[in-house]
Structure 1
Amino acid sequence: MSPITYIRLHPSAGLLFVQLLGVLLYPWMEATALGRALFGAFGLVVLGMALHVVKRSPTQTWVAVLLALLVLALSSINILLPSPVLEWLIAILEAAFYFYAAASLIAYMTADQHATTDELYAVGATFTLLAWAFAHLFTFCQLLLPGSFTAMLEPQAARTWMELLFLSFTTLSGVGLGDIVPVTPMARSLVMIEEFAGVMYLALVVSRLISLSVIKR
């Protein structure tokens, strides 16, 4: 089976692969103007893959399409006419889109009593969607309240996207490496909510699919 055919049969695997590829590529994209342009283009690929996966879930696809179109429209306007307000709106809409996509995948995974191969890939894809969603919330928090996050290196500087995504992954997974720290009340509230979401995701969704896999065997 070719990789394209495999991804067509298991779209959640394609989304998971693209998200993990982004984790590896983002550090090389933030330093230059060309890299940031590629970063935006890669973001469109992630949006498209997420929309494709949402279509397979038992939810209203038009909501995800509307959110994606709003993100694309505002991002295009922000390139031509940069504005802090537009950056706030884009961050909130992107967070809403990824939360909705994650909820759609969770609904897809819990819609039946069978753990398919695509649903097992969806476990990882949903985790990355949640990590992206909270990273966008952290971005919004930093734009709204500068200095919300600090770090050991350049503590007064604004945190980059990769740093906020790293914080999101470590928080959601429960690892909590701690070199990036929320210092404002709003930032700490968001981190606490993500910690709770990570625990509940593992306890309710992941454990359910593992149990179904064991029962099937």
Structure 2
Amino acid sequence: MIDLRQYPALLRRQPSALLLGAQLLGVVLYPLMEGHASGQIVLAMFGLVMVGLALLVVRRSPTATWVAVVLAGAVVVLSAWNEVQPSRLLTFAIALAESAFYFYAAASLMAYMLHDDHASRDDLYAAAATFTVLAWAFAHLFAACQAMAPHSFGAQFHPEQPRTWTELLFLSFSTLSGVGLGDIVPLRPMARGLVMLGEFAGVMYLALVVSRLVGLLTLRRGGAGRDDAR
């Protein structure tokens, strides 16, 4: 029987799993809540929760935690300011600050994984969480681009309207994974440049980080097999 009392301690040991679960929940939650007035409040609160979870993960990495705290604080302050006095410039600044925060969180997760000479279970969760964090980072970068240069991204349906957060997140996942479904496309030069950077980041992440974890797991299994043979 599963002892539920073990879960808090387990999540403290493996915060990457909690971050991964929250972001996968967000992938489902955003389409359901977008477009509703009350839903925007829920999504804003959910976004702050994910920032907190990312901070929890950053603390376990060898990188400087204070950088992530400063970036997270900038996101909170700018978001509150935008609620009082909304403007396109503030929308751009918030998206840019969130993008910088998630990029730093992704770099911290990668430093955490590369710091070990063996692949633990939390490293595997961290590998999956890093991909979702990168997707969030590029989606916020796309949002910043759209805030300062309207019509940067087009779509088959309602091409004249700005792309929603869910659409930009979908574009980010498609770009990083190399799927490239193509129903949401960059139109302006800066948007195309950002998408190309996303494609490059996705390829390099698989080549450098994921391949290293696979190699460590292979070595561990090979070592265990030799010990059994003895």
TM range (shorter): over 0.9
Gaps of 5+ in 1: none
Partner of residue 168, structure 1:
172
TM-score w.r.t. structure 2 length? 0.93
Amino acid at match of 1:185: P
Instruction: Provide the alpha-carbon RMSD of the alignment.
Output: 0.8
1:85 and 2:62 correspond: no
Query: What's the CA shift for 1:78?
Result: 0.5
Q: Which amino acid aligns with 1:53?
A: V
Partners of 2:64 and 2:147 in 1: how far apart? 31
- Residue matched to 1:104: 108
Moved over 6 A (4+): none
Look at both structures and tell me which one has the larger radius of gyration over its CA atoms. Answer: 2
1:188-207 pair list within 5 angstroms: 188-207=192-211
CA contact (8 A) 2:89 2:148 kept: no
SS in 1 for 2:20: helix
Structure 1 equivalent of residue 43 of structure 2: 39
Normalised to the residue count of structure 1, the TM-score between the two structures is: 0.98
1 CA distance for matches of 2:116 and 2:27? 31
Structure 1 residue identity aligned to 2:167: E
Tell me how far apart the structure 2 counterparts of residues 197 and 210 of structure 1 sit (CA, whole Å).
19
Partner Cα distance (1:82, 1:155) in 2: 25
Q: Does structure 1 residue 62 correspond to structure 2 residue 62?
A: no
Matches within 5 A, 1:1-217: 1-2=3-4, 3-217=7-221
Give, in whole Å, the separation in 1 of the partners of 2:183 and 2:116: 41
State the alpha-carbon separation in 2 of the partners of residues 178 and 49 from structure 1. 32
SS in 2 for 1:150: strand
Identity %: 62
Q: Deviations over 1:54-113 (max 9, x none)?
A: 000000000000000110011011111111111111011000000000000000000021
